[in-house]
């Protein structure tokens, strides 16, 4: 039925493996704006997530009006992502290990809002000794577009059995898209939505949520039967063998 017996894992970028909040906060600060702390940021939705809460909203709104101001903010965010943004602790060696392991296919999906996000993430990954070209699947998704069709496209392209496919995200819509595409879901609560919001408001099962990047790494390694210790000297070229 399926041409491949490989396993697949697709990771969301911002808020799941990339510390997006710190990058966004730095960009806003550079433009004299504030978005509040992470706890408050996670509780906001849509436009208000980036315009701040009651304390920050009036000042941020005044500064964000006008196309030129928005363009400058995106320019700054792009520079920060490319030169300073970080993967969460422990994520780089996890990705190196996944890419170096035969029989595991690795993908990435992103709604990154910087200019030319593929170039942005390529430079961010390179600073962590990772080559984005070694991914088996990569997709930049427009804002407000469900990820379901992109997950499904990865299964079709790589000819993977959904029962052997996993995906990870940080927002409830990620969870819904994973379910709709037939993936086994991993979720995290340190990104754009917190644990309470995911579980109580959107009924995401507590048992699939990792509260820290370390917990996510441990969960993925366990699911893929990977050792806890990884020696980067393993040649990533094995991945495509």
Domain parsing of the chain, residue ranges: 7-19+87-240, 20-83
Average pLDDT over residues 60-76: 66
The per-residue pLDDT of the chain, averaged, comes to 88
Average pLDDT over residues 178-205: 97
Range scoring the smallest mean pLDDT among 44-53, 78-87, 151-160, 216-225: 44-53
- Spatial distance between the Cα atoms of 25 and 29, rounded to a whole number of angstroms: 6
* Predicted pLDDT at 239: 57
* Predicted pLDDT at 229: 79
Which residues have C-beta within 8 Å of that of residue 159, sequence separation ≥ 6?
A: 2, 3, 4
- CB distance 173 to 146 below 8 Å: yes
Average pLDDT over residues 133-140: 98
- Spatial distance between the Cα atoms of 38 and 149, rounded to a whole number of angstroms: 30
* Predicted pLDDT at 52: 45
* Predicted pLDDT at 66: 47
* Predicted pLDDT at 45: 56
Class of domain 7-19+87-240: alpha beta
Structure-derived torsion over alpha carbons of residues 135, 147, 143, 137, reported in degrees to the nearest 10: 10
Nearest Cα neighbor of 13 from 78, 92, 87 is 87
* Predicted pLDDT at 53: 43
Q: Is the dihedral of CA 123, 129, 133, 135 positive or negative?
A: negative
Average pLDDT over residues 104-118: 96
Nearest Cα neighbor of 6 from 165, 225, 176 is 165
The pLDDT confidence band at residue 60, using thresholds 50, 70 and 90, is very low
- Spatial distance between the Cα atoms of 218 and 222, rounded to a whole number of angstroms: 6
* Predicted pLDDT at 64: 53
Q: Which two tokens stand for residue 120?
A: 């942005």
Statement: residue 1 has pLDDT above 90: no
- CB distance 172 to 202 below 8 Å: yes
pTM for this prediction: 0.86
- CB distance 125 to 135 below 8 Å: no
38 or 115, greater pLDDT: 115
- Spatial distance between the Cα atoms of 112 and 99, rounded to a whole number of angstroms: 22
* Predicted pLDDT at 68: 58
């Amino acid at each position: 039925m399926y041409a491949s017996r490989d396993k697949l894992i697709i990771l969301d970028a911002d808020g799941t493996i990339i510390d997006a909040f710190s990058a966004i906060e730095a960009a806003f600060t550079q433009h004299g704006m504030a978005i509040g702390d992470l706890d408050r940021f996670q509780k906001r939705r849509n436009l208000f997530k980036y315009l701040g809460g009651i304390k920050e909203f009036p000042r941020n709104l005044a500064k964000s009006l006008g196309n030129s101001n928005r363009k400058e903010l995106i320019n700054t965010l792009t520079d920060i992502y490319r030169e300073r943004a970080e993967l969460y602790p422990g994520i780089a060696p996890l990705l190196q290990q996944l890419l170096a392991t035969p029989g595991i296919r690795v993908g990435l999906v992103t709604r990154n809002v910087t200019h030319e996000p593929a170039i942005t993430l390529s430079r961010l990954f390179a600073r962590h000794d990772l080559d984005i070209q070694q991914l088996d699947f990569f997709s930049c998704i427009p804002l407000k577009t469900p990820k379901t069709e992109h997950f499904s496209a990865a299964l079709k392209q790589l000819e993977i059995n959904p029962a052997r496919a996993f995906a990870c995200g940080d927002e409830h819509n990620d969870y819904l898209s994973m379910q709709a595409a037939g993936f086994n879901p991993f979720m995290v609560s340190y990104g754009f939505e917190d644990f309470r919001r995911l579980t109580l408001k959107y009924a995401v099962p507590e048992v699939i949520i990792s509260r820290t990047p370390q917990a996510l790494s441990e969960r993925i390694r366990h699911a893929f039967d990977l050792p806890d210790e990884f020696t980067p000297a393993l040649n990533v070229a094995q991945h495509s063998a």
